[in-house]
Amino acid sequence: MFSQPERRSLFGEILDWMLAPLLLLWPMSVGLTWIVAQAIANRPYDRELAEAVRALARQAAIHAEPDTMDLRGRQALERVALALTRADDDDRVFFQVLGRRGELLAGSPALAVPQAEAMAELPVDGGDPAERVRYRDDYIGDEPVRVAYLWLSNPSRPGDTDALVQVAETLGKRSQLATEIIKGVILPQFVILPLAVLLVWFALSRGIRPLALLQQRIRQRPTTDLSAIPEGDVPDEVAPLVGAINDLLQRLDRSIATQRHFLADAAHQLKTPLAGLRTQAELAAREIDGGRADPATMKHSLTQIALSTQRAAHMVNQLLAMARAEDSGFEQRRTVTDLAAVTRAVVRDFVPRSLERRIDLGYEGPEPGEATRLLAEPVLLGELVRNLVDNALQYTPAGGTVTARVLADPFGQVVVLQVEDSGPGIPPAEREDIFRPFYRALGTQVDGSGLGLAIVQEIAQRHGAEVSVADARPRAGGGSTTPGALFTVRFPRIAAAPGPAPAQAADSAARRAPAAAVGPPAA
């Protein structure tokens, strides 16, 4: 069992596409806000660290030489450092002063010596490049700290290693400040985000309201109302859809009108044979009731009943053929079909009827092969040929000639079917009308349904073919009072299959096989 595809909601899909980016960007906004808050929180505390490092560096520059530093100098340096880096309740501050040979002059030995100068230099207050402080993030034990450090160079002794002054501070105050900034930015978003979702939902509801109104208007229409939907009060985005629906309604209205006309004509045409059938049956019943049912009278009544039944059956078969020709699933049943083989088979089926009416029925054309193949629905193609031959036999008098002819295009573009008769022909003024359903040529006594050529036209259009009609012989100055009719159908030919084409004699297209000699199609 195939499950039905889940029906999607246009409102829900648009809402998802609008809210999904919003909900995706919100955590990204939180992350970016946290990064910016950290940078903002670091800035004032980094500035304090830089001032402490500079002040300590100025004091350390006096005692940076170990050869001249005594215990009193070291104690003075530590007092200055402790005064500059006194701790508060939130953070601990560490300092370190290293001499030019890397020895510890004062402070904590836990601070690591920076190994590279990859960190960006941060000038403070546009000071002297010699007093530019650098920053890094580090650890003392397992506790993260922010370190500000400054290298002290000796211009008089350029070969010596620079002394180092470092001040480190734990991150308690920075984290608190960053958290406060985050709270000040994020908390309002918790109020704004639901409000934004609500506003989006409300705006979207108002935006698609015209669709709901259009749906109600269509649902409230009666089934017989196929008039166009007014396009003046629909949104521009929906106007093409409404236009397409109006075009469909217009085509549907024409189709229903055609079907109603067709059914009315069919019912009218069926009334004649059915009325005759009923009349003959009632006449036979009265003859029997009156005791006058002689064999000759009964045979005549039965013959008329059989003819009426035959006409009704023929009409029903023609109506079924018309329905098959209009079937929308025709494209799925197309296959490679040989027109010559189909035409020979149809001619062979009509041989008994042509012999009964003393009409010379024959086939002219090549043997079935590659040159006469086309892409078609075999049943419909047979109906087309059958109706053309049947129409020719109906209008051809006894002793006349009917020829079904297949011509192969030497350029391989088309395959041509011709049916020629020696009947009265069709005046040029009526050649467009003969393809209308139930139309019969005036001045003829032919008992037909008037559907045969309409079926031919419908089937030809389904196959992309062209149907034309002309006189079989010249009307004026030709010495013939019965010009006959020549029906020509040009089918587009399928692409030739790879490999050599079947050999055919040059004069095969002009060869005529008489009705009695038409055999089964070639394999």
**319 within 8 A of 361, measured Cβ to Cβ:** no
Residue 215 domain flag: no
- Same domain (yes/no): 317, 334: no
User: What local confidence, expressed as pLDDT, does residue 435 receive?
Assistant: 81
Question: Cβ neighbours of residue 147 under 8 Å, at least 6 residues apart?
Answer: 111, 135, 136, 137, 138, 166, 167, 168
Q: Identify the domain boundary among 157, 180, 203.
A: 180
523 residues of the chain, pLDDT tens digit each: 445 556 666 677 777 777 778 778 878 887 888 888 888 888 888 888 888 888 888 777 665 554 455 666 667 777 776 776 665 667 888 888 887 777 787 788 888 888 755 444 444 444 555 567 898 989 998 899 999 998 887 665 555 567 888 889 888 888 888 888 888 877 787 788 788 888 888 887 887 788 878 878 888 888 788 888 887 777 777 788 888 888 888 888 887 877 776 676 666 656 666 777 777 777 777 777 777 667 777 777 777 777 777 767 766 766 666 666 665 555 557 789 999 999 999 999 999 989 999 999 999 988 888 888 898 888 889 889 988 998 899 889 999 999 999 998 877 788 999 999 998 888 888 888 888 876 666 555 555 566 778 888 888 888 889 999 998 877 555 545 678 899 999 999 874 444 333 333 333 333 444 444 444 333 2
Residue 4 domain flag: no
**348 within 8 A of 518, measured Cβ to Cβ:** yes
**426 within 8 A of 486, measured Cβ to Cβ:** no
- Same domain (yes/no): 120, 69: yes
Structure tokens that stand for 220 in this block: 């409230």
- Same domain (yes/no): 272, 342: no
- Same domain (yes/no): 373, 425: yes
Secondary structure class of 462 (helix, strand, coil): helix
- Same domain (yes/no): 318, 346: no
How many angstroms separate the Cα of 258 from the Cα of each of 254, 266, 422? 6, 12, 34
Q: What is the tens place of the pLDDT at every residue in 205-263?
A: 887 788 878 878 888 888 788 888 887 777 777 788 888 888 888 888 887 877 776 67
State the CATH number of the domain containing residue 252: 1.10.287.130
- Same domain (yes/no): 176, 252: no
Integer Cα distance of 107 and 82 in angstroms: 9
Q: Identify the domain boundary among 180, 214, 229.
A: 180
Residue 200 domain flag: no
- Same domain (yes/no): 281, 409: no
Domain that holds residue 127: 10-180
- Same domain (yes/no): 135, 174: yes
Q: Identify the domain boundary among 322, 354, 372.
A: 322
Residue 129 domain flag: yes
Residue 229 domain flag: no
- Same domain (yes/no): 305, 384: no
Residue 75 domain flag: yes
User: What is the value of pTM for the model shown?
Assistant: 0.47
Residue 204 domain flag: no
**388 within 8 A of 456, measured Cβ to Cβ:** yes
- Same domain (yes/no): 345, 475: yes
Report H helices in 290-422: 295-325, 339-349, 351-356, 378-395
Secondary structure class of 501 (helix, strand, coil): coil
- Same domain (yes/no): 293, 406: no
- Same domain (yes/no): 316, 334: no
Kind and range of the H or E run holding 209: helix 209-219
State the CATH number of the domain containing residue 464: 3.30.565.10
Domain count, the chain: 3
Instruction: Find where tokens 């001040």 sit.
Output: 167
Query: How many other CB atoms are found less than 10 A from the CB of residue 340?
Result: 23
Residue 33 domain flag: yes
